[in-house]
Amino acid sequence: MASVRKRKWTHNGVTNEAWVVQYTKPNGKTGIKTFRKKKDADAFRDNEAVQIESGERVADRDSVTMKFAAESWLEECEKRNRSGALSGYTLGSYKYQVASNIVGHIGGMRLSMIERHHLQDLVNELGGRLKRRSIENTIAIINHIFRFATRRKWLAKSPIVDDPLLLPGKAPGRIPIPGKEDIRRILEVLARGRQNGMQWHSHSIRVCSIMLALFAGMRRGEICGLKWSNVDFENEIIRVRHSYSRFGLKEPKTDAGHRDIPMAPPLKAALLQARASRTSQDESFVILSRVNTPIEPETLYTRYWRPVMKEAGLCDESGTPRYHFHALRHAAVSLLIEQGLPAIHISRFVGHSKVSTTLDIYGHIFPEDQASRLAVARLEAQLGATTERQEILSP
């Protein structure tokens, strides 16, 4: 609450007086403002009271901590999960982000005390250890919590609704893509078979995962979530229907993520060989650990991809691979572009809902002489006049 008092002081024999307003700032600190006239001081004091009364601010005593608000929001998310409105994967991701990136930093602060600079400091700190996408997800969750809190009357207005947070640094550049020579070196490592007493299941994971990324353009999560029931050897098709991570199995976010990919001969051979060596049921995962549990995407990178890159001589002096596993997906697209496959077909192959997304990511790979065609395709995508829609509307 704000209070008004008169203050007198003497300087060089002259007595002066002023009216002082002492009030509590949103961050919990005490503020002092001086006025020559009492009516101005009263107006300032009354203005804060009006803000609280009108709902422009929530009094500190009526607010809650960020930790309490986040936990309450997660409880609502759990109800949505039980009703089927929210996937278990998304719920697990929310819990992880809240615990790792939010509560430990500003969990003890009351919502009424949180100012934009507190949140910007948090984002800047996360920028030193997290990828840009993770920071974006954290900001999105903070916005979710603030909206939830305003509905509960714990917060009058989000401190970042009119002034969004700034992401630290620049967006990451394009990742390096292996050329044909480096791809041959990777495939040569796989062709050597099991080396130095390597177990069959480890070799099978190496071969299948790399083939699925290179010849089917699948993401790590999609590879880890692939089941034998979605591998159609008879029709030579791989049906992408799931993705797997530390939070469990989930379906693609968009309809475009549900896609059927033609099975290239090298990929089919690798899958048949892996299938022949397994005794698992048809519904089990293609990529499994030794104890028959799904493998997380990060494990796929650290345990199986890094050793292959090392054997292929494609690591730097510190042992870090020159190419990330995801670069194989980009390599698959670059090879398809080289074969002249149109952008709209490539977007279906990789599971993009819009051809414009494909062009934004891979447009730099297309030959320069296709610039005009790509510009038209981009315009077509932005206007929503896709090839499929034109075919439907044609007489």
The CATH number covering residue 308 comes to 1.10.443.10
Residue 169 domain flag: no
Instruction: Tell me the H-state helices in 86-199.
Output: 88-97, 103-106, 116-126, 132-151, 180-191
pLDDT at 53: 42
186 and 301 in a single domain? The answer is yes
320 and 228 in a single domain? The answer is yes
Averaged pLDDT of the chain: 82
- If you average pLDDT over residues 348-374, what whole number do you get? 72
Please count the structural domains in the chain. Answer: 4
Residue 170 domain flag: no
pLDDT at 26: 53
199 and 322 in a single domain? The answer is yes
137 and 261 in a single domain? The answer is no
222 and 274 in a single domain? The answer is yes
Residue 159 domain flag: no
305 and 187 in a single domain? The answer is yes
70 and 119 in a single domain? The answer is yes
Helix/strand/coil for 22:
strand
Token pair, residue 379, equals 């315009």
The C-alpha atoms of residue 355 and residue 360 are separated, in whole angstroms, by 9
Highest mean pLDDT among 121-135, 281-295, 306-320, 361-375: 306-320
Asked if residue 203 lies in contact with residue 189, where contact means CB atoms within 8 angstroms, the answer is no
350 and 321 in a single domain? The answer is no
Residue 373, pLDDT above cutoff 70? no
Residue 171 domain flag: no
pLDDT at 171: 56
Residue 298 domain flag: yes
The C-alpha atoms of residue 347 and residue 125 are separated, in whole angstroms, by 36
248 and 376 in a single domain? The answer is no
User: N- to C-terminal Cα distance for the chain?
Assistant: 72
Computed over its alpha carbons, how large is the radius of gyration of the chain?
29
**Which CA distances in Å does 273 have to 193, 215, 286, 287?**
12, 16, 12, 13
80 and 128 in a single domain? The answer is yes
Tens of pLDDT, residues 42-83: 776 666 553 444 344 555 555 789 999 999 999 999 999 899
268 and 344 in a single domain? The answer is no
Instruction: Tell me the H-state helices in 284-350.
Output: 297-299, 306-311, 327-338, 343-350
- If you average pLDDT over residues 241-246, what whole number do you get? 88
Residue 127 domain flag: yes
pLDDT at 380: 58
Tens of pLDDT, residues 90-122: 898 899 999 999 998 899 998 888 889 999 999
| Domain containing residue 214 | 180-330
Residue 24, pLDDT above cutoff 50? yes
pLDDT at 38: 84
pLDDT at 391: 44
- If you average pLDDT over residues 360-375, what whole number do you get? 63
pLDDT at 25: 58
354 and 386 in a single domain? The answer is yes
